[in-house]
Amino acid sequence: MSSHIPDAAGQSPGRSSSFGLLVAAIGVVYGDIGTSPLYTLKEVFAGHYGVRVDHDGVLGILSLILWSLLWVVSLKYVLFMLRADNGGEGGVMALTALARRATAAHPRLSGVLVLLGLFGTALFYGDSMITPAISVLSAVEGLDVALPGMSHWVVPVTVILLIGLFLIQKHGTARIGILFGPVMVLWFLVLGVLGIHGIVQRPEVLQALNPWWALNFFIAHPGVGVTILGAVVLALTGAEALYADMGHFGRRPIARAWFALVLPGLVLNYFGQGALLLENPEAARNPFYLLAPSWALLPMIGLATLATIIASQAVISGAFSLSQQAMQLGYIPRMQVQHTSSAAQGQIYVGVVNWALMVAVVLLVIGFGSSGALAAAYGVAVTTTMLIDTLLVSAVMLLLWRTPRWLAIPVLLGFLLVDSLFFSANVPKVLQGGAFPVVAGIALFLLMTTWKRGKQMLFARLDETALPLPAFLGSIRIQPPHRVNGTAIFLSARPDAVPHALLHNLLHNQVLHEQVVLLTVVSEDEPRLAPERRFEVSAYGDGFFRVILHFGFMEEPDVPAALRLCHLDELDFSPMRTTYFLSRETVIPTKRFGMAPWRERLFAFLQKNANSSMSYFQLPVNRVIELGTQVEI
């Protein structure tokens, strides 16, 4: 895979921009995992896990965190998962497309993996709700350390900051995004400096580099060993972002940023906090802020708040991008997508997703009230997604890459074992607040599968009454209708049938345009397509043409722009001579065999409120005619 991605001008960046990509990757990719030192050790030693703040307990936990970072993040995600790219794109949806391609010869297995990928996608939205809440809340909780007695201001200040963050989304993040990289670079440098300051006080904390201390912790705490992984996993939150954001920066900048700055900064800070706990066990109430000198507390709160807002911005932007991909692949209804930058195609804003996330995040902050309470809900979605990633990449590695089994199976079993341990440790959290991301994930999973299944049923019902194209053309030649000037484009999901809009127009208006284009837009499971693969054109005679436009799931389906690339001499797509005809189906739920009645009603509601094809395909408003029809499912 090429480690470079096209820049705004479509050119591959060279060496001069590699440093800029590295800094940008630090700002966008590592915000989530970079702010985990704010709450990880605080949660581990909160008391409800039964881990004592003593020599063996501190060294055991530090060793577990270190080797979890090395195994899960460094080995699995940075060195391994980043190679599982789909045309340079990463993330659970891109991985699902790869797995579906790998299992094309095994339909049942392919169906199961697609469902797993959809559930992982749904869980990402749950993570997008919890990350801003716990991150900003944990940063603002420093007020109670710096200014005792201010604890009652923590939740209101957090809510105000988060509402402000969501309010500015529609204006785009290009301007403030310039600050993301430098601020996060400063953040990781400060993490490292604070960590070194703590380690110098108690250098024996470096013994935790030995994995024996992690193993010894399990031996010494047989009843706590696996359970404590439910708190240790907080140090890994954001690992999925490394893979999901690969398309923005490329593999090498992300990997270099991790090993050069992020991993050292995190490890040093965790070890510094551990040294503080060895020196003063009472510091377990907030070891991150108490590690800093008293004079630096307020500046640290400000820097931490900036860092957590950046972490929140990254996951919100990720939710927008994931929604766009899901729309392109047909898993969620079409929504209005607003581009906030003329230079960067990936900077988008989806209003429905933004406001839904804002309401959920504010309710989470008010409902849970502290980062410690939210930590119980955190981890369930993360570990489930990590496990799903391993299952999907297993199919890719064994069936698509055809990696030798003697090499692939031991590696995959190692990933599966560790992911299963983390997942098992987080299962009890479902009863302690962790039900929220699970319920949110299940609800979104049902929505996506209902929409996909409903669209399949709708197309099947339309096919029952569809007129085959050859029969229609034959009847037109026998009894030619009156033809008028211009080009009529009829959008249809089926390339082999006559669009209902065409039949309705001919029935009611008794005329046809001199040029009739039957247009089908196909979304591929690749992120982007080369221009030569964009369209297929077939001429049927008598002024009839079939055009099929292909778009990748990361591309913007701009139909007029794509049609301008069609250089067939007979076709004239001049704006003032072209009219677009769309079908608007109204779904009527019935007792026919298909889905459960409540799912049919849900699909009918979604279909009614989904954005029309006009805005989704960026058709000119004054050149579109919609013709409605009722369909029973």
Q: What phi, psi does 466 have (nearest 5°)? A: -75, 145
For residue 148, the model assigns a pLDDT of 82
pLDDT at 459: 81
User: Which tokens belong to 447?
Assistant: 């929505």
Helix and strand numbers, DSSP H then E, in the chain: 27, 8
Give me the pLDDT at residue 203, please. Answer: 95
Q: Evaluate whether 289 touches 137 at the Cβ level (below 8 Å).
A: no
State the pLDDT at residue 341.
59
Domain boundaries, the chain: 21-433, 461-632
Classify domain 21-433 at the CATH topology level.
Amino acid/polyamine transporter I (1.20.1740)
Predicted pLDDT at 3: 32
Between CA 123 and CA 89 the distance in angstroms is: 19
For the stretch 466-492, pLDDT in tens is 788 888 888 888 888 888 999 999 998
Q: What pLDDT sits at residue 281? A: 93
Phi, psi of 545 (to 5 degrees): -135, 150
pLDDT of residue 59: 95
- Report pLDDT for 201: 94
Tokens of 601: 């009603």
Handedness of CA 485, 490, 494, 500 (dihedral sign): negative
Q: What is the C-alpha radius of gyration for the chain, rounded to an integer number of angstroms? A: 27
Q: What is the pLDDT of residue 527?
A: 80
Could you say which residues of the chain have pLDDT below 70? 1-17, 172-178, 340-347, 567, 592-593
Give pLDDT, residue 262. 95
Report the distance separating Cα 135 and Cα 368, nearest Å.
13
Specify the long-range contacts of residues 510-513, CB closer than 8 Å, at least 24 apart. 510/481, 510/482, 511/481, 511/482, 511/483, 511/484, 512/476, 512/481, 512/482, 512/483, 512/484, 512/488, 512/543, 513/483, 513/484, 513/485, 513/486, 513/487, 513/488, 513/543, 513/579
Q: What pLDDT was estimated at residue 315?
A: 83
pLDDT reported for residue 156:
94
* Complete edge-to-edge strand list for the sheet that includes strand 511-523: 535-541, 544-551, 511-523, 482-491, 578-588, 624-632
